[in-house]
Structure 1
Amino acid sequence: MEDQSPKIDLVWGCAAIARVIRRTPRQCFYMLENGTLPAKKVGGRWVIERGKLLALFLEDVA
């Protein structure tokens, strides 16, 4: 029997998120703190779903 649950690709931590969006960790932290990025804090660490992060930038281009 196959697992049919959806796969969620999470990006954990400001430095990892910064690498995905190609910004410095400082720039990324600013964007996280002011709510520009749709991320949440879990246990003191920022986390965001990779698909939502990429969609945020792709919708601005279109």
Structure 2
Amino acid sequence: MEDELESSDIVWEVANIAKVIGREQRTTFHLLTTGQLPAKKIGGRWVASRRKLLAAVLGDAA
């Protein structure tokens, strides 16, 4: 069960990350490339944890 939760927490691609944080793709790409969001680039694709993204954007409200 925990593995299912962990895999659903993964968000791939700038477009999907943008949807999670409620920003435009261009803004999200800037935030990613400048290290302002907790994400990694793997094989040319951005990947992040939904939980960590929301915590970074919402801060204590998450």
What residue in structure 1 maps to residue 14 of structure 2? 14
Task: Give how far 1:7 is off.
Answer: 3.0
Larger Rg: 1
Question: What TM-score, normalized by structure 2, do the two folds share?
Answer: 0.82
Q: C-alpha separation between the residues in 2 aligned to 1:36 and 1:4? A: 28
How many residues are aligned here?
60
Task: Give how far 1:16 is off.
Answer: 0.3
Return 5+ residue gaps in structure 1 as ranges. Answer: none
The CA RMSD over aligned residues, in Å, is 2.0
Give the aligned residue type for 2:5: K
Return 5+ residue gaps in structure 2 as ranges. Answer: none
Task: Give how far 1:4 is off.
Answer: 5.5
Equivalent residue of 2:11, what SS? Answer: strand
What residue in structure 1 maps to residue 32 of structure 2? 32
Residue 53 of structure 2 corresponds to residue 50 of structure 1:
no
Equivalent residue of 2:36, what SS? Answer: coil
Question: What TM-score, normalized by structure 1, do the two folds share?
Answer: 0.82
Alignment CA distance shift 1:61-1:5 (3 Å): closer
